Amino acid sequence: YVYYAGHGAPAGVKGTTYLVPSDADSETVQLTVYPLKQFYKNLGKVPATSITVILEACFSGQSQKGYLSSRTSGIRVSPVIPKTPKKMTVISAGTANQVATWEKNSSQSLFTKYFLKAMSGEGDKKPYGNKDGKVSLKELKKYLDDSMTYYARRYYGRTQTAQIVVNGKELRIGK
């Protein structure tokens, strides 16, 4: 399991996505950050039968306070999320162009709060789960879609939908 909490951002004309450390310089972002594609490639080399990556980050280039780069002229780069290796599950706080939002009191992100609640058993309860004592990825997705997405809209009027990718394919559930 790898849990990354921090910023993500797109850069360049191709919208390459990067994990952004707290001390990164927004003016030289491509020199001071870690490409998500390289991160996945390196994890793919780990001799494990499965790897789960939880990304508490968004790749829109925005934060609750606005754009990460302070000197922009309104040009937006569309983030391109790389494909994940076959043995990898990626659970992310939102889709590529969405902002990952925080609780009103800034205590934690909405994703972390509701991810932890779901995994501690709430996601296995009705109406999300089947009460079998395990939280499946589908139950997690249902729980996050109902709780985290609701509060992102309620607090900030924005859409934030957790994304789960398993073996390179997005997990989709019916309502």
pLDDT on residue 71: 42
Q: How high is the pLDDT of residue 17?
A: 86
SS (H, E, C) the chain: CEEEECEEEEECCCCEEEEECCCCCHHHHHHHCEEHHHHHHHHHCCCCCCEEEEEECCCCCEECCEECCCCCCCCCCCCECCCCCCCEEEEECCCCCCCCCECCCCCCEHHHHHHHHHHCCHHHCCCCCCCCCCCCHHHHHHHHHHCHHHHHHHHHCCCCCCEEEECCEECCCCC
Higher pLDDT, 51 or 85: 51
What is the per-residue pLDDT across 99-124, written as a single tens digit (0 to 9) for each?
888 888 888 899 999 999 999 999 99
Q: If you average pLDDT over every residue of the chain, what do you get?
A: 84
Model confidence band, residue 30 (pLDDT cutoffs 50, 70, 90): low
Predicted model pTM: 0.84
Residue 152, pLDDT > 90, answer: yes
Reply yes or no on whether the pLDDT at 4 is more than 70: yes
The pLDDT value recorded for residue 68 is: 46
Decide which of 61 and 143 is more confident. Answer: 143
